[in-house]
Structure 1
Amino acid sequence: MADEDPEQDETPEPRQRLFTLIEAERVRKDLEPFLIEAIDCRKKLSSLENDLAAISARIMMMGGVIVPYEKLSRLRAEHTHLAETLRSTLRRILETGCIVKDLDVGLLDFPAIIDNQDVYLCWKLGEDRIRFYHRQDEGFAGRKPLDPCDLGPGDKVQ
């Protein structure tokens, strides 16, 4: 059998999806409940991890003599379930081509092109629609309002 070239097995990186504002807005609306679920799971996981660490510390202080097996088992099962729910929810969000920038505040970016520049259409949980963008090298602090023709009725660029 001949030696195989390992580079032949590599599949090319898929091209990043680019969104129009209308597409991004449609996806944003669909993803909002998933984003809320992911944020909730993350908060619950953090709390559970604190509980598990406290139990572990108590077990160590007691020299491993007293182990609350039932409670530990229940917390670990809940942790496993929440972690899988979070993974599944994040997978669902990322499959659309958008990028989760900050799960703590619910920040999503949608790759796009404005004036021949690669940008992100930027949305934060709590905003009623996508109103901002920033260059891909800037981040949230560099957000700029979308062009007035991209904004809804009654909105103004400040």
Structure 2
Amino acid sequence: MADRLFSIEEANALIPKLELLMARLQQSAAQLRRSIEALAAETGRAANDLSGSDIVTLRPGLRPLIVEMEQLVGEIEACGGEFKGLDLGLVDFPAEVDGEVVLLCWQFGEKEIAYWHALEAGFSGRKPLSRQRDRRKYLQ
């Protein structure tokens, strides 16, 4: 069982803060990607072939950006959700429904929690909280 279980209201109350953190994180990630692509072009290597240590060795000025990104992920997780990925901007919140722990699933850009999935299902298993009866189950 998770350390903390969220209601929809509790998870929704965090969305304004998560929006800001995720926006900053995605901006930093875009800046890092551009820098890595430029570094790859300069070195004649594919961006995918550059390891993290290669990047900070060849561009030590990128270290603060990487540290900032790690701190932003830490701030997201300090809210109680689980950061699931930068590309889609996913954060999951443990919740309990009928005695079963599930994950309320938020994606960057969504204004409220509208989906859930089983613990082992992941993003591809997202199901809408579309029916009012289902939404009430998650409010407890």
**TM-score past 0.5 threshold:** yes
Unaligned runs of 5+ in 1: 1-14, 59-72, 152-158
Q: Based on CA coordinates, which of the two structures has the bigger radius of gyration? A: 1
Aligned-residue Cα RMSD (Å) equals 2.4
SS in 2 for 1:120: strand
| Alignment match of 1:137 (pick from 96, 120, 140) | 120
Unaligned runs of 5+ in 2: 46-56
CA shift at 1:35, angstroms? 0.7
TM-score by length of 2: 0.76
The answer to whether structure 1 residue 18 and structure 2 residue 5 are counterparts is yes
- Match in the other structure for 2:44: 57
Q: Report the identity percentage.
A: 33
CA shift at 1:133, angstroms? 0.6
* Separation in structure 1 between the aligned mates of residue 14 and residue 94 of structure 2, nearest angstrom: 12
User: What per-residue deviation string (whole Å, max 9, x for no partner) do you get for residues 31-76 of structure 1?
Assistant: 1110111111112112111212222339xxxxxxxxxxxxxx9x54
What does 1:1-158 align with in structure 2 at a 5 Å threshold? Answer: 16-57=3-44, 76-77=60-61, 79-146=62-129, 147-149=131-133, 150=135
Is the Cα–Cα contact under 8 Å of residues 105 and 116 in structure 2 kept in the other structure? Answer: yes
CA shift at 1:29, angstroms? 2.1
TM-score by length of 1: 0.69
Aligned residues: 123
Q: Which runs of 4+ in 1 moved over 3 A?
A: none
